[in-house]
Structure 1
Amino acid sequence: MRNICDIQYGSDATRALDIHLPDAPRATYVFIHGGGLTGGDKADDKALFERLAAQGVATVSVNYRLIPAARFPEFIEDCAQALAWVRGHLAHYGLDGRIVLGGSSAGAYISMMLAFDRRYLAAQGIAPEDMRGFIFDAGQPTTHFELLRQRGMDEKRLIVDETAPLYHICDARPGRPLLIITAENDMPARVEQNALMRRVLLNYGYPEALIEQHMMKGYGHCGYCGDVKPDGSFAYGDICADFILRVCG
């Protein structure tokens, strides 16, 4: 795996990305890290990048502005800009043009917003249909708890407003596969929130065959993301790689 790090896609060093390239890329995964919208880093998921590269998937891992320096929706806009940058530099870095967009936790929330609220990608000349698929790993489809906290509200409240991916599912247009991952012992109500998202998608006509779900047994929130076993097995990495290669085939 060849690593090209700290490439600036925006107007300051905060908006940077890393590219992890296999010898012969067969697909590209644009990955948005987690961290509650207040932390995390593009280098956090090394085990995932290595497993994907071993199976021929290049990963572009994105940093974005964080709360409190950033306000909604700047972190979403940053990731849309990063995706546009990737699409504009495929040939330069030897990336495959078949792209899956996704992320973990807060990164999955941002990915959901990009998938369902079409305005952010449209501002960059992109449509969700330009992706081969989306991965939502333990994301929050209701209004994100950190946004509730910023409003002085109880972060445990379940609210669906314009900052919630669920709010925009009425605009979702069927056609791209989704991989939804949650943990058996995930954050309170996270499993139920994602089950609700699936039901709402189906209610608006999203084909059931395009919605794939995985429950990670025995894990807490994102506890599987770097859990490579002594024998080299890595369930999360293999689930992601299998999905990406299938939808990009």
Structure 2
Amino acid sequence: MPFMMTACCESSMLYQAADGSELPLLVFESGEGTQPRAGVVLFHGGALREGSADGLAPHCRKLAARGILAVSAGYRLLGRDAVSIDDCIADVRRAVEQFGQLAASRGLEAPHLASGGSSAGAHLALVAAMIDRDGPTPAPKSGTAAVVALNPAGLDLCSFEPELQRHLEHQVGIAAGRLIEYSLIEFVRPGSPPVLIHHGTCDEVEPIDSVRRFQDAMVRSGNECTLLEYEHAEHGFHYPGNSGHFDDVIDATAQFLLDRIATK
């Protein structure tokens, strides 16, 4: 079914990171003043060391034109203001909370909100949605009711060789042996939020087999996990102009959000 396209209104605001600094929230919504039917906050990729909220602005702009409140959020980066991945996760949790307040002012409550992102940003969003500060928890406590993951990283970290695991632990600033605490497949439980994954079959960062294992684990636990595979696509395929898949990714994402969490 074709989507109704509208004008898009863009604005920006700041939210307080876990260390008290201020980080950006780029806000995209219908320019016609109509109430959005669903909302999503997205987190950029860049291996936790690069990137900015501007990276997913094209995605948010297109989603807003389909009646979805779309926000792209920044977070502290390793090598700059973040010491470890834990700082990044703490910021993402703060951003989700701020997004919830913003969405409420637009008439949207938690059951109509999703989170997500690209690559490392998708991993951060999944951690915040699936792993409570005190351990695994079902989706209702996370602040969002679904997750959209664009070529996510970190789904099955323990499948890597021990040497690579130690390298990753060093790269993200955590102690040896802690990588399992961020491997999402270990935290799949009944009640995990519905997840939509867009992934290329030739992804060189997160092998498609790892993504398939995660999907299988989710389904075995009774959760919804939709995996859309893009043949021969590599990491970052979903950006405009990279592979010609941008419009397909946006259409499928909008359909997922409007089918699963939209207001009636």
TM-score where L is the length of structure 1: 0.81
Which digits, 9 at most, give the CA deviation of each residue in 1:101-141, with x for residues without a partner?
1111011111121122122799xxx713x523111221121
Q: 2:25 aligns with which of 17, 22, 35?
A: 17
| TM-superposed deviation, 1:151 | 1.7
Give me the whole-angstrom Cα distance separating, in 2, the residues matched to 1:190 and 1:176.
Answer: 23
Q: 1:60 aligns with which of 71, 87, 92?
A: 71
Shift of residue 146, structure 1, vs aligned partner: 9.7
1:156 paired residue number: none
Query: What letter matches 2:184 in structure 1?
Result: P
Of 222, 229, 237, the residue aligned with 1:206 is: 222
Q: Say if 2:217 is the partner of 1:196.
A: no
Q: What's the offset of the Cα at 1:74? A: 0.8
Out of 142, 148, 157, which is 2:167 matched to? 148
Gaps of 5+ in 2: 1-7, 159-163, 173-177
Q: Look up the equivalent residue of 2:182 and give its one-letter code.
A: T
What is the alpha-carbon distance in structure 2 between the residues aligned to residue 199 and residue 53 of structure 1? 31
- How do residues 116-155 of structure 1 correspond to structure 2 at under 5 angstroms? 116-119=130-133, 127-128=141-142, 130-140=143-153, 141-143=155-157, 148-149=167-168, 151=170
In the alignment, does 2:228 pair up with 1:235? Answer: no
CA shift, 1:5, in A, is 1.5
Match of 2:183 among 161, 164, 168: 164
- State the one-letter code of the partner of 2:75: Y
Partner residue of 1:88 out of 96, 101, 112? 101
| Structure 2 residue identity aligned to 1:79 | V
Distance, in Å, in 2 between the alignment partners of 1:88 and 1:234 is 29
- Three-state SS of the structure 2 residue aligned to 1:219 is coil
Conservation of the 8 A alpha-carbon contact between 1:66 and 1:75: yes
Cα RMSD after superposing both structures? 3.1
User: Is 1:51–1:238's contact at 8 Å kept on the other side of the alignment?
Assistant: no
Ranked by relative contact order (alpha carbons within 8 Å, sequence separation 6 or more), the top structure is 1
Say whether the 8 Å CA contact 1:26–1:245 is kept in structure 2: yes
TM-score, normalization: structure 2? 0.77
Indicate the residue corresponding to 1:184 in structure 2: 201
Please state whether the residue corresponding to 2:222 is helix, strand or coil.
coil
Alpha-carbon distance in structure 2 between the residues aligned to 1:33 and 1:120:
25
- For residue 9 of structure 1, report the CA deviation from its aligned partner: 3.2
Counterpart among 106, 118, 127 of residue 104 in structure 1: 118
AA aligned to 1:5 is: S
Structure 2 CA distance for partners of 1:152 and 1:65, relative to 1, 3 Å: closer
Any unmatched runs of 5+ in structure 1? 154-158
Query: CA 1:36 to 1:64, structure 2 compared with 1: closer, same or farther past 3 Å?
Result: same
Q: Helix, strand or coil: the match of 1:101? A: strand
Query: CA 1:149/1:244 → structure 2, altered by over 3 Å: closer, same or farther?
Result: same
